[in-house]
Amino acid sequence: MSEHYASGSTSAYAASRNVKKSKSIKSEDEINVQGPLEVAGSVQSGRGINFQGSISVRGPIDAYGNITTNGELSCQ
């Protein structure tokens, strides 16, 4: 299982410097993504993807398993 964590507050009023940034996330295993996090590219998994917290994804989200969210997910 791949884990991607970002440190900082999940508050909507948090300064932008507290938001972790990633180019893209890819794994053949299940992915756990915890925000606040901005992903400039895609999120791809050979299994499932679990989003928790405040997450922004600019590219496509692709998984062969379930995609679950607990928090705020913005897709552009």
**Domain range annotation of the chain:** 2-75
For 11-62, what is each residue's pLDDT tens digit? Answer: 344 445 588 999 999 999 999 999 999 999 999 999 999 999 999 999 999 9
Supply the pTM of this predicted model. 0.76
Chain-centre distance of CA 40, in angstroms? 10
The string of DSSP letters for 2-60 reads EEEE--S---TT--GGGSEEES-EEESS-EEEESSEEESS-EEESS-EEEEEEEEESS-
Give the Cα separation of 44 and 67 in Å (integer): 11
